[in-house]
Amino acid sequence: MSGYRHDPAAIRALVRPDAVHRDVYRSQELFDLEMERLWRDTWIYVGHDSQVPNPGDYYSTEIARQPVILLRDDQNEVRVLMNRCAHKGARLVSATHGHCENKLLRCPYHGWTYRLDGSIRTIPMKAGYEGTGLADTQNGRGIASPPAVVNYRGFVFARLNPQGPGFEEYFGGSLTSIDNLVDRSPEGRLEVAGGVLRYMHDSNWKMFIENLNDTMHPMVAHESAAGTAKKLWAGKPEGTPKPMAIEQFLPFVNGYSFFDQMGVHIYENGHSYTGVNFSIHSNYAAVGEYETLMEQAYGAQRARAILGEVRHNTVYYPSLTIKGAIQAIRVVRPLAPDRTLIESWTFRLAGAPAQLLRRTVLYSRLINAPTSVVGHDDQHCYRAIQEGLAAEGNDWVSLHRNYSAGEGAQLAGNYNGTSEISMRAQFRAWQRFMTGEPAR
Ligand code: FES
Ligand SMILES: [Fe+2]
């Protein structure tokens, strides 16, 4: 089907309370509209401020298919600028990250230079612009910025549309997952550790986002990887020290009741997390020295509360997913209806023992990396959906699990962990933003 652009009713009809039309994963027109509406009107993750630790450092990326630069200016403030020269529009930086020499950005085409706040510093042969009126235009004012940028405890988000929900209004209580991740540092600070693992998925971005709180798949899709680890570990004599890799693999093949009782929490606007009661991260071996440092920093009671919160995946719809209990995040960069770049970042908890970082790095390598043995189980399934949905004869994708007709529109709250309610909530948000209805 096509013709969605001017037909909100047709978009609305793609989402039923308990199912979605296969076009939402396949249509180029809907993908374009997602970038122009959902991804432009909501708060999209740009990067972490520790990716640009020193004044002049930059990181370049794209949000909603628009090139942007995350930058630390000479006042030590983290900014987001559009990666577009004010003159004829050349992209200013091409590298994914680097440093601006002499506190200046310099366009590679005609050499206009900019201060780190985006204002114009010099234009070659400037006299040629006298009396032309350039100074009174947008071009004369320098590099544009997204109209709304927030640095929340190191996590930098931008909204490209001047109109739209406020940051706190949009994310609401889901920000407690970022709080818990940052509070796990005895110094209350995270640092990106090493570079980024980029993992190209040949599937629609929503499959990844939906899968984050899909707990009916691990025991099936990850049976080959985690099931093998389980077999290897079975029958080891009591007291054998459990390798970290085994500790991380085994919970993926826990039974259905484990994932069901784990629980899922739903917020407005498509955000959610699994691990209300416990999670696959609950039984990692304690690092005694770390707990002592946490108690010294926060007091025994508060330290216990922080470490007792072991959420599994939190979805900051539509662009960011975090695993607070293991200090890893994955960022969604949609490229086409069937092409999505997933960035996987690993964090060091400032002031925590090195053992914690080793655990995180191992997890990223085993579970989230392109070379992992868990992540590509998922990738295989996403691709399988992308190909399967080409089949005619049934236009609908089922999201019925634990649906009841009285579910209504307000979904915030706790539910059993294997419910597909997180996906239904995502699509309700999708429907609202794609048809121009306001955020909740
Ligand atoms: S396009 Fe940048 S200076 Fe001309
Ligand atoms: Fe998975």
pLDDT of residue 357: 96
> Which residue CA neighbors atom 3 of ligand 1 most closely?
110
Averaged pLDDT for residues 246-265: 95
Residues 15-58: tens digit of each pLDDT: 999 999 999 999 999 999 999 999 999 999 999 999 999 999 99
Residues 167, 157 contacting (CB under 8 angstroms): yes
Dist. CA 212 → ligand 2 center (Å): 7
**Ligand 1: residues within 6 Å at CB?**
85, 87-88, 90, 107, 109-112
Q: Tell me the C-alpha distance between 278 and 253, whole Å.
A: 15
pLDDT of residue 288: 84
Residues 137-175: tens digit of each pLDDT: 999 999 999 999 999 999 999 999 999 999 999 999 999
Side chain identity at 73, as an amino acid letter?
A: D
Residue labelled with tokens 């910025």? 145
Q: Say if residue 388's pLDDT is above 70.
A: yes
Label the pairing between strands 396-398 and 264-266: unpaired
Q: Tell me the C-alpha distance between 175 and 180, whole Å.
A: 9
Quote the mean pLDDT of the chain: 95
pLDDT of residue 406: 84
Q: Please give the domain boundaries of the chain with CATH numbers for all domains.
A: 44-152 (2.102.10.10), 166-434 (3.90.380.10)
Q: Say if residue 1's pLDDT is above 80.
A: no
Q: Tell me the C-alpha distance between 108 and 218, whole Å.
A: 48
Q: Tell me the C-alpha distance between 375 and 258, whole Å.
A: 21
Residues 384, 9 contacting (CB under 8 angstroms): no
CA distances 5 to 13, 30, 234, 334, Å, are 13, 8, 56, 19
User: Of the residues 81, 82, 84, 88, which should be mutated to test ligand 1's pocket, given the most ligand atoms within 8 Å of the CB?
Assistant: 88
For residue 108, the ligand 1 atom closest to its alpha carbon is 2
User: Of the residues 81, 109, 134, which should be mutated to test ligand 1's pocket, given the most ligand atoms within 8 Å of the CB?
Assistant: 109
Which ligand lies nearest to the CA atom of residue 259 in the structure? 2
What percentage of the chain has pLDDT greater than the value 90? 92
Dist. CA 202 → ligand 1 center (Å): 35
Tokens of 73: 């200016």
Dist. CA 64 → ligand 1 center (Å): 23
For residue 89, the ligand 1 atom closest to its alpha carbon is 1
pLDDT of residue 285: 87
Q: Tell me the C-alpha distance between 253 and 428, whole Å.
A: 31
Residue 358: Cβ within 10 Å count: 12
CA distances 249 to 222, 234, 358, 365, 418, Å, are 9, 13, 15, 12, 20
Q: Say if residue 103's pLDDT is above 80.
A: yes
pLDDT of residue 185: 98
pLDDT of residue 438: 64
Residues 67-91: tens digit of each pLDDT: 999 999 999 999 999 999 999 999 9
Residues 353-366: tens digit of each pLDDT: 999 999 999 999 99
For residue 110, the ligand 1 atom closest to its alpha carbon is 3
pLDDT of residue 440: 57
pLDDT of residue 373: 87
* 246, burial (CB in 10 Å: exposed 0-12, middle 13-18, buried 19+): middle
Q: Say if residue 2's pLDDT is above 80.
A: no
For residue 88, the ligand 1 atom closest to its alpha carbon is 1
Q: Tell me the C-alpha distance between 44 and 128, whole Å.
A: 40
Residue labelled with tokens 């809907």? 30
Dist. CA 98 → ligand 1 center (Å): 20
Residues 307, 299 contacting (CB under 8 angstroms): no
CA distances 423 to 16, 232, 417, Å, are 12, 35, 12
Residues 124-133: tens digit of each pLDDT: 999 999 999 9
